[in-house]
Amino acid sequence: MSTSRCYHCPTPPGTCPTFCNNDNIPFFPNLYYLDFSYNYLSSISNVFKCLPKLEILYLNGNPIERIASNTFVGLPNLRHLSLRSLPTKPNIESYAFNSSRLRRLYLTNSHVSFGTQVHEDAFRGIQIHNLDVTANRFKDVTEDQMLLFFGHLKYMENFDMGSCQLQRIPLFLQRMKYLKAISLYSNIITNIPEGIISNLTHLRKLPQKRHVMLKDLVFSQNACYLTLNIITTTLVTLSLIIVVVCSVSFLYKLRWRIRHFIYMKYYRPKRQRNTEHNQEFTYDAYIIHSDDDEDWVVDEMIPKLEEQHHLKLCIPSRDFCSGYILDNIDLAIQTSPHVIVVVSPSFADSDWCQAGLMMAQSFVLNIRADALIAVLLREPYARNLSHSLHKLLSDTAHITWGEEEDARASFWARLTTVLKERMRSMTDCECY
């Protein structure tokens, strides 16, 4: 894409360069920006062609005498057209700006008399969004003429009519329901009819300067409060969504604490009343582990503790009965003097492991302070540590599993020593 500017270009007065050869082949097929401002162009008819990609055209300050019908129809991609400060007050014919993609048109400060010099269909053939006719003459233009000039421009968003000698708000504005800004400064408007812009629900700006009295401006309730209601509703809805999302996230994070509280509050007392007569231990230790670590428990822990040291372990996959899993966890903790927690990254990710650990810690605080034994199989990620797991690793001396033979031998020696010493101390207490 390319641009071109030509200020006071060395061409004969009133003429314009051609943009294609005799075979209509463009010289500048990729030109998208062209500025001919403040030259001596008096005629622009049949000039602007062979510019298939031109989007922006400036013709400000040229002594243009006439803007003929379909002057710009040969510019299929024209979007921005500026004709500011034209000293000769040109006549503007019907369909003068006809161009299907034109969106911004500026006819500022040319003092053109719209009542005598502008055809009523001059703005036909376009659907622009921005129109600026500031500092032109509308003094003798009737409402019907205004309607013919601009009434069909339904998609207008910004309309400037400052210094146009207006004595009233033009009624055609009521048709432009997408208007966001209107400029009416430096006019002599002394009265605004009731409800004239009540349909302009998108209106955001009504910039004015001097000579415009807005004291009698009347909006309908919908026009005044629609935006406020939308903003209020949006804010309330967003606030509710934020509260709900935060509440759900908070409850999800504490879901196992809630379930543990409900279980301990309402279900566990019933089980305790049913099992108070049975104080004997069924197992020597209850093993809390994740599903990913079950192979290690089966291949390493069961052979070493059960087969070599004749300890009876409670393994969930083997020893839990069918039914509510929290009942099984609670029963295993109550019928085992020790709880061995096999800590690993998969343990930190397991909801059921977290539930078992939480119940075990609660039981330890109330009944047996030395029942928990932490086995660190693999270091969990710090970001996944729950409050219960962090407390376990911080407050409980853990036994670390190693990959070397010496480390493994030390691991089993420490674990069996801890188990047997605690079992011996419990036996001594019972004898005493």
- Distance of alpha carbon 71 from alpha carbon 93, whole angstroms: 10
Paired tokens of 129: 């969004």
- Distance of alpha carbon 357 from alpha carbon 371, whole angstroms: 12
Name the CATH code of domain 280-431 (choices 3.40.50.10140, 1.10.10.10, 1.10.3720.10, 3.90.1640.30).
Answer: 3.40.50.10140
Read off the pLDDT band of 330 (50, 70, 90): confident
Over 60: is that where the pLDDT of 5 sits? no
Mean pLDDT score across all residues of the chain: 81
Residue 249 has a pLDDT of: 77
Where do the domains of the chain lie?
280-431
Cα dihedral sign, 169-174-176-180: positive
Read off the pLDDT band of 274 (50, 70, 90): very low
Rg (CA), the chain: 43
Furthest-apart CA atoms within the chain: distance in Å: 124
Of 73-87, 182-196, 377-391, give the lowest mean pLDDT range.
182-196
What's the residue count for the chain?
A: 432
How is residue 242 annotated by DSSP? H
- Distance of alpha carbon 120 from alpha carbon 123, whole angstroms: 8
Rounded mean pLDDT of 287-313?
A: 91
Rounded mean pLDDT of 375-399?
A: 85
Residue 262 has a pLDDT of: 58
**Residue 260: closest CA among 187, 183, 363, 377:** 363
Q: What is the DSSP string of 302-315?
A: IIIIIIIT-PPEE-
Paired tokens of 202: 């998108």
Query: What does the pLDDT look like over 87-96, one tens digit per residue?
Result: 999 999 999 9
Query: What does the pLDDT look like over 334-376, one tens digit per residue?
Result: 888 889 999 999 998 888 888 888 888 877 666 666 788 889 9
- Distance of alpha carbon 339 from alpha carbon 286, whole angstroms: 5
Rounded mean pLDDT of 268-293?
A: 69
How buried is residue 81: exposed, middle or buried, by Cβ count under 10 Å (0-12/13-18/19+)?
buried
Query: What does the pLDDT look like over 244-264, one tens digit per residue?
Result: 888 887 776 665 556 556 555
